[in-house]
Amino acid sequence: MKKYIVRLYQESDYKNWNAFIGKAKNATFLFHRDFMEYHKDRFQDYSLIVLDGEKWVAVLPANVVDDEVFSHQGLTYGGLVYNEKVKLTAVIGIFKSILFFLNDNNIEKLQVKLIPSIYHQKPSEELNYALFLAEARLIRRDSMAVIDLSKKMVIAAGRKEGIVKGEKNKLEVKEVVDFELFWNDILVPNLAKKHQAKPVHSLREITKLKELFPENIRQFNVYENGIIVAGTTFFESDEVAHCQYISGKEDKNELGGLDFLHYYLLTEVFNKKRFFDFGTSNENQGRKLNNGLSYWKESFGASTIVHDFYEVESANFNLLDTVLT
């Protein structure tokens, strides 16, 4: 099996890393260094570059905690990134080289949040197979509610009623560049009241990310007589429109704000995308399902794609020695 060189990312790799990500078949803007580093004060970077001689063949966005590497705790998903020229046998060899590198550097385990298949430019589940060969353990599985926009959309009666309410109440949807109103008036209070939680991104962070990725991060608010009643934040990639945050004023649900908003987004804004990703409805590391939230998403016609998390021992690199025949 071919051996590859593995080394840690350095600041001098910034341009080459981003250029590589831009040509990969299974990457999104979340792997751009500007996105990865907006919260670098919270994570110790341990991103890896894999080379065949001097040629870049793969990268692994990652961070480290003690003797364990994660790909990636600060991102929605992680995993091995490569272009369409890299074949299955090469990915197995690349993954073996990564595990060997980690083991040689006293890292005992690697945790990987796989990139969900809908985010691939082309089929890219070679790593899934390599993880199986290395006897990785499935430690978490989230359920994503996804609409395939290439198919006819079937919306439940309850959602249609909400859409009609929104029309009758003369609600207005606007795309805005300022997140402050949605964050401070709706999202932060709702998360605090319902879940005793805060948004993953602070107002300052999401504003900075919007400046860095103006075409990828978008905010849509719903107004009644000029007063905000609901909103949603989207992360847009080549194939997918992803709802990062969804929230509405609790006492304004009778207006149909969220139904009206998402029907508009599905039919007017993102109707040319391949997939509309409502995100997960899980709690407790995937072991609990928010039934009401899941049903609301499914009633727009969404169905389930799983998002898997694996853990593998770095010492298992030797299990890949005898795979190829």
- Shortest CA distance to 57 belongs to which of 32, 81, 79, 78? 81
How confident is residue 194, by pLDDT bands cut at 50, 70 and 90?
confident
pTM above 0.75, yes or no: yes
Structure tokens at 36: 């990865």
Structure tokens at 135: 């006897």
- Domain coordinates of the chain in residue numbers? 5-141+307-320, 151-273
Instruction: Evaluate whether 280 touches 307 at the Cβ level (below 8 Å).
Output: yes
Residue type for position 57: V
CATH superfamily of 5-141+307-320: Gcn5-related N-acetyltransferase (GNAT) (3.40.630.30)
What are the tens digits of pLDDT across the range 84-131? Answer: 999 999 999 999 999 999 999 999 999 999 999 999 999 999 999 999
Detail the DSSP E strand segments found in the chain.
5-8, 44-45, 48-52, 55-60, 63-65, 68-71, 109-113, 137-148, 172-176, 217-224, 227-236, 240-248, 275-280, 282-283, 288-289, 303-313
Per-residue pLDDT at 251 exceeds 60? no
Q: What is the strand order of the sheet 5-8 is part of? A: 5-8, 48-52, 55-60
What are the tens digits of pLDDT across the range 205-227? Answer: 999 999 999 999 999 999 999 99
What are the tens digits of pLDDT across the range 10-28? Answer: 999 999 999 999 999 999 9
Structure tokens at 160: 């249609």
Q: What is the CATH number of domain 151-273?
A: 3.40.630.30
Per-residue pLDDT at 252 exceeds 50? no
- For residue 180, the tally of other CB atoms under 10 A from its CB is 11
Q: What is the pLDDT of residue 3?
A: 87
Domains 5-141+307-320 and 151-273 share a fold: yes
Rounded to the nearest integer, the mean pLDDT of the chain is 96
Q: What is the pLDDT of residue 72?
A: 96
- Shortest CA distance to 48 belongs to which of 36, 39, 212, 38? 36
